[in-house]
Chain A
Amino acid sequence: MTDFWLWIHALIPWFDGAIATILIILIKAIALVGPLMLVVAYFTYAERKVIGYMQLRIGPNRVGPKGWLQPIADALKLMTKEIIFPSKANIYLFLLAPVLAIAPAIAIWAVIPFDEGVYVTDLDISLLYVMAIGSVGVYGIILAGWASNSKYPLLGALRSASLLVSYEIVIGFALVTVVMIAGSVNLNDIVIAQKGGILNWYWIPLFPMMIIFFISALVETNRAPFDVVEGESEIVGGTHVEYSGMTFAVFFLAEYANMIFMAVLAVILFFGGWHSPFEGIAYLGVGFAWVPGIIWLLAKTTFFMFLYLWVRATFPRFRYDQIMRLSWKVFLPWTIAWIFVVALMTQLRIGPWF
């Protein structure tokens, strides 16, 4: 893939040095963020369609053929709507909050390896970077709750903060087990360590961790059934109450970008990233060798994104104290216990994973 960057360099020979570097960074960023925003837009469409189908409805089908232009229409509507500032809100913080929400949601994508060597940056501590930037994202929500100077957003912000504190620990411990097996905190190396077919991926030795990670990801991204931060029926709309138009749209983008990110992260940590599931199997492995790795990654990610919608269509919202109990009394002991199990497995060298 370094060839690709050399090719880009060759494409713009009249630039050199600093300008070329900046240009390449810019191209990388656009190549990442553009498709990401498109996926986010159509993810909202997919959400409405899938949930509609699960409720025996047919979902949006009026704008464009089969409703395919619905997200575009939604985006146009949100862009043209007026932004209303609450009269007693702190306008600077009020406007800073959506920026603080979207910036980490996009920056976090920088370390994701999409294929062998396809990434924006190869950070040696990329998993730590993911943890760190992921935690920053919640500042946007907390700040939004505080700056709105309104009671429901503040309640939402408090819930968001406490959920983050509880589930960041669980996610952290779940990631530790992955790191223990892979022997690296570099996402690239973690995927390479899972080389081989579907049986070599980490979802087998870390099956409970995978489920815990996925459920924690639901909490982290404020998704149903853990969407107490928004909680339409309890606290109206949580931190989004006072936001309208584009400011709301930015929160929305950040939330969905985070969801897709968590799906990609689950694939990278537990489902072998860009590796084909048929690798090493006699005929299937050769037959599917032509499929580029990024297709496998996207296919697996799509499954996890579908799982988000599936879960949302199925389960009612958890009560707030039940979510807390789940974190501290169920997930935390399990993750810590599994760290010892993994340590044992590593020492005894069980299976193809260690």
Chain B
Amino acid sequence: MINNIKKLVKDFSLAELRGGMKITAKEMVNKKITVQFPEERTPISPRFRGLHALRRYPNGEERCIACKLCEAVCPANAITIESEMREDGSRRTTQYDIDLFKCIFCGFCEEACPVDAIVETQIFDYAFVDSREGSIVDKAYLLEIGDKNEKAITDIKAEDAPYR
């Protein structure tokens, strides 16, 4: 009986509606959590695996020695490598293609590489120009990415090094 009356009073005083509206009113003046993407970015972990890059040594020599370990370890068969002997007798790649549609960004290529040539950067906002062939990035493109972001790559690798 008492409980019924209590419930009746609670119902007719719209207690629960007022409680709900109090919450929305409170949230309205709270700080907003939206990140305005192109201008602001969320922090990215140094272990983030984004677009690939091929690195060079400080003297300008490309690191990749065409050992094809990355090609072998790649679970998605996204990497294609052709190699030849260069004039100075060293083994170098003539073709280094990554199909970014096939790639699953697992980072195995980076771990397999004995000379730290192929790395995955923090770049994620890239786009393919056209359809199927557009997704295949070649050696020149990867080297360019590496050249442009050498500083960022060294920094994040140094940051992550103590934990590897």
Show the binding face of A for B, using Cβ within 8 Å. 50, 53-58, 211, 310-311, 313-315
Encoded as 1 (CB less than 8 Å from any A CB) or 0, chain B from 22 to 38 comes to 01110110101110000
Is A310 a contact partner of B27 (Cβ separation < 8 A)? no
CA–CA, A339 and B21, complex, Å: 29
A-B contacts, 17 of them at CB < 8 A, read: A53-B32, A54-B24, A54-B25, A54-B27, A55-B27, A56-B34, A57-B33, A57-B34, A58-B32, A58-B34, A211-B14, A313-B24, A314-B17, A314-B20, A314-B21, A314-B24, A315-B20
CB distance from A31 to the nearest CB of B (A): 34
Is B30 a contact partner of A310 (Cβ separation < 8 A)? no
Is B33 a contact partner of A315 (Cβ separation < 8 A)? no
CA–CA, A106 and B33, complex, Å: 40
CA–CA, A53 and B34, complex, Å: 10
Knowing A55-B27, A56-B27, A310-B24 are in contact, say whether A315-B17 is a contact too (CB < 8 A).
yes
What residue of chain B has the Cβ atom nearest to residue A55's Cβ?
A: B27
- What chain B residues lie within 8 Å of A315 (beta carbons)? 17, 20
What residue of chain A has the Cβ atom nearest to residue B31's Cβ?
A: A56
Is B28 a contact partner of A57 (Cβ separation < 8 A)? no
Knowing A56-B33, A211-B14 are in contact, say whether A314-B23 is a contact too (CB < 8 A).
yes
CA–CA, A56 and B33, complex, Å: 6
Is A311 a contact partner of B27 (Cβ separation < 8 A)? no
CA–CA, A311 and B23, complex, Å: 11
Show the binding face of B for A, using Cβ within 8 Å. 14, 17, 20-21, 23-25, 27-28, 30, 32-34
- What chain A residues lie within 8 Å of B17 (beta carbons)? 314-315
Is A57 a contact partner of B21 (Cβ separation < 8 A)? no
CA–CA, A315 and B21, complex, Å: 8
CA–CA, A310 and B27, complex, Å: 11
Is A50 a contact partner of B28 (Cβ separation < 8 A)? yes
Count chain A CB atoms within 10 A of each CB in B21, B28, B32 and give the residue with the most: B28
CB distance from A230 to the nearest CB of B (A): 21
CA–CA, A310 and B17, complex, Å: 11
Is A311 a contact partner of B21 (Cβ separation < 8 A)? yes
CA–CA, A53 and B28, complex, Å: 5
- What chain B residues lie within 8 Å of A56 (beta carbons)? 27, 30, 32-34
Apart from A53-B32, A56-B27, what are 9 other A-B pairs with CB-CB below 8 Å?
Answer: A54-B24, A54-B25, A55-B27, A58-B32, A211-B14, A310-B25, A311-B21, A315-B17, A315-B20
CA–CA, A58 and B27, complex, Å: 12
CA–CA, A50 and B24, complex, Å: 10
- What chain B residues lie within 8 Å of A313 (beta carbons)? 24
CA–CA, A54 and B33, complex, Å: 11
Give the 7 A-B residue pairs with the shortest CB-CB distance, closest first.
A54-B24, A314-B24, A53-B28, A314-B20, A54-B28, A58-B34, A58-B32
What residue of chain B has the Cβ atom nearest to residue A313's Cβ?
A: B24
What residue of chain A has the Cβ atom nearest to residue B17's Cβ?
A: A315
CB distance from B64 to the nearest CB of A (A): 43
CA–CA, A315 and B24, complex, Å: 10
What residue of chain B has the Cβ atom nearest to residue A315's Cβ?
A: B20
CA–CA, A314 and B22, complex, Å: 9
- What chain A residues lie within 8 Å of B24 (beta carbons)? 54, 310, 313-314
